[in-house]
Amino acid sequence: MRLIATWTATLVVLSSAALPAQEWIDFVSRDDGFRVNFPAQPKVTNTTYTSEYGASLWCEPAAWIGEAARLLRPGGRLIFLTNSPLLMLCTPESGERASERLERDQFGMYRFEWPDEEGIEFHLPHGALIRVLGEHGFAVEALHELQRPEGSRDTRYDFVTPEWSRRWPCEEIWRARLV
């Protein structure tokens, strides 16, 4: 959806030497076309993602979480930012600013498209996201529901008011460990 904070979570793939193009593999999901290029034997040494939402918002959840599980070693952490389910439930299908009442059903929430915007977003309720993480070998360590700090300035994003995001979380940061 639209973005407020710049909290980030990323997978950084490092190689000790330059690899010729033929030694890189191109992962392409047959389900949704998600594509990423990795060295054949990637060594993941950090979990930091430089896009504000990235895969956690725009890729089918089982696909990107499964790929993260493939890349991380046991004990590796996956940290990501996404919109809160409550924000999605309070956002009208028209894409207008979040209201103070529920506008959508929670059961069955998954794929979101917005009028006059290209792209598809994926949002799951907490229980469904915990289930997908668990199916790929992750144990949730923390869920941080973000609250707008008192006295913070408004942002260029108009999908919530400052008052709304002081009362309810519009973004959340997840931390999970591959077991």
Residue 34 confidence (pLDDT)? 59
Q: Give CA–CA dist 111/109, Å, rounded.
A: 7
The domain of 168 spans 11-178
CB count within 10 Å of CB 66 equals 16
Query: Could you tell me if residue 3 is inside a domain?
Result: no
Phi and psi of 132, rounded to 5°? Answer: -65, -45
Q: How far is CA 88 from the centre of its chain?
A: 14
Task: Examine residue 24 and state whether it is found in any structural domain, yes or no.
Answer: yes
Q: Is residue 31 part of a domain?
A: yes
Predicted model pTM: 0.71
> What are phi and psi for residue 108, nearest 5 degrees?
95, -5
Domain count for the chain? 1
More confident site: 3 or 129: 129
Query: What tens digit of pLDDT does each residue of 109-157 get?
Result: 999 998 888 889 999 999 999 999 999 999 999 999 998 888 877 766 7
Per-residue pLDDT at 88 exceeds 90: yes
Q: Which of 69, 82, 73, 83 is nearest to 44 (CA)?
A: 73
Q: How many CB atoms lie within 10 A of CB 32?
A: 15
Whether residue 1 lies inside any domain: the answer is no
Residue 22 is part of a domain; what is its CATH number?
3.40.50
